[in-house]
Amino acid sequence: MVNRDSQGEPPRDLAVSAVDWTEAPDLVPYPEAVQTMERRVQGIREGSAREWVWLVEHAPLYTAGTSADPSELLDANKLPVFQTGRGGRYTYHGPGQRIAYVMLDLGARGRDLRHYISNLEQWIIDTLETFGIRSDRREGRIGIWVDHNGQEKKIAALGVRVRHWVTFHGIAINVDPDLRQYQGIVPCGIADHGVTSMAELGVSVNMAEVDAALKAVFSGIFGGGVSG
């Protein structure tokens, strides 16, 4: 779930200010997204750019995290597969899934990676609660889970990378994606439980409504306010 690059540098004595916030209007190619995050992370580290939350959707694809097991790619020909530097295993991204790439400076936020992950999880939980969806963590399992028709299913995933205490990659919430695409992988290495979406749970919302909820909840958890 987490990949940490070298963290050996002195703490940064910075005040937490407003976080830039952008919703991409179109599908973003995955390599372009990674390059954009890399540039922004470098700028944040150097002090030339502000922290940033970037909300995107991708065309259908699979990503392989640093712990990905090739045996969990069940259909290598189904969709494009991208190796990525985030922690975790295989996951699916596609239209109808809200991805939030989160670039925060933990060097100015206490250098507590475990607390950061907990905040990401709570951000998802509180956002889903806005729409009447009760979700939670599950011991020993990555992601955010719901009970649906007597089954535990994952509704959101996390995958994080940290470079010199600046975060990137982030979270993915299933709003209304094509859940059949998950059949090509073992999602996050968990074969015994299914994947669901807000739509499958009977909650019909558009992406703008989800974005507004994410934005409204963000500051109360991470502080600093949002800009944009």
CB atoms within 10 A of CB 37: 23
Tell me the β-bridge partners of 99.
Answer: 56, 172
Residue 188 tokens read as: 């996050």
Side by side, the strands of the sheet bearing 90-93 are 81-83, 61-64, 90-93
DSSP string, 145-195: EEEETTEEEEEEEEEEEEETTEEEEEEEEESS--GGGGGGB-GGG--SSEE
Contacts of 80 (CB under 8 A, 6+ apart): 30, 61, 62
| Spatial separation of the C-alpha atoms in residues 89 and 101, rounded to whole Å | 17
| Spatial separation of the C-alpha atoms in residues 36 and 157, rounded to whole Å | 21
Q: Which of 64, 173, 188, 210 is an active site residue?
A: 188
Look up 190 and say whether it is catalytic.
no
Sign of the CA dihedral with 16 first, then 41, 161, and 58 last: positive
DSSP 132: T
| Spatial separation of the C-alpha atoms in residues 144 and 122, rounded to whole Å | 9
Residues marked as catalytic = 188
